[in-house]
Amino acid sequence: VVNEDNDHYFKYPSERMNADDLRAYVDRLAEGPVTHVFFCASGQRASYASRAVEPIWAGLDEPDHDGRTNNIWCVNAKRLHDAGIDPYAVWIARCREKGVSPGLTFRMNDVHFCFVPRYFRTSQFYRDHPDCRTSDSPSPDDWLSYTLDFARAEVREQALAVIAEQLDRYDVDTFELDWMRFPRHLRPGREAEGARFLTEVVVRTRRLADAAGARRGRRIALGVRVPSRPAAAQALGLD
């Protein structure tokens, strides 16, 4: 299984942002004994034209701590969008042509550089809800202190809105919930009582996947990325 990051491709030279190169990228990923490729289509923001959360290129128009960002990820994702190309649709179709099973992987809590004010990767939901974080006093030395608390209904609903959109938009065989990047989804000390909220998200995602699969005539597998040891998982509220 190849788990493809949400920004790697978009950091290539801009002249490579075209459908032929997207297909060639999958050809390289599928070399050797690869049976599955899981694409990460979003962190906090999406690398496609999402309606559930801001697309990553929204950062091009927003002043951040240094003025404006022209991050190549934003530039290239927008270049594809402006050309009418959805990279994930192209990649998924190419996987099927290559006999590789396509999937999506969804990061339940992505807090890359969240201590940077108005960082281009942070969603407006995240910026508007500092009260929903797992710590009242987050520290740049502890990125996990910036994660969102799934005991809060609005956090669960925001995540499920993006999950629902991706399951509706993309014809995948597997949808993975990545609970390990980053692995704090409840306030410290409240993992046991809050585990039911994380289970709720999995149950509701299974229902969304079932509905999407029924429309497409196939069952969509649901994966979860959790600690390999049950005791370690339960300590994080991942039952």
Return the pLDDT at 78: 96
Query: Of 37, 32, 31, nearest to 88 (Cα)?
Result: 37
For the stretch 51-99, pLDDT in tens is 999 999 998 877 666 655 678 999 999 999 999 999 999 999 999 999 9
Q: Look at residue 35 and tell me whether its pLDDT is greater than 90.
A: yes
Query: Of 233, 162, 146, 161, nearest to 198 (Cα)?
Result: 233
Q: Residue written as tokens 């989804």?
A: 185
Averaged over 145-159, what is the pLDDT?
98
Range of lowest pLDDT (39-43, 116-120, 228-232) = 116-120
Instruction: Return the percentage of the chain with pLDDT > 70, whole number.
Output: 97
Averaged over 200-205, what is the pLDDT?
98
Q: Look at residue 142 and tell me whether its pLDDT is greater than 80.
A: yes
Q: CA–CA separation, 98 vs 37, rounded Å?
A: 11
Averaged over 144-159, what is the pLDDT?
98
Return the pLDDT at 138: 95
Residue 101's beta-bridge partner residues? 36
Averaged over 34-63, what is the pLDDT?
93
Return the pLDDT at 62: 74
Return the pLDDT at 49: 98
* pTM of the entire predicted model: 0.96
Return the pLDDT at 66: 63
Averaged over 109-126, what is the pLDDT?
92
Q: Residue written as tokens 């994660």?
A: 147
Return the pLDDT at 67: 54
For the stretch 221-233, pLDDT in tens is 999 999 999 999 9
Q: Which residues lie below 8 Å from residue 169, measured CB to CB, with a gap of 6+?
A: 48, 88, 89
Q: Which helix (H) or strand (E) holds 202?
A: helix 191-216
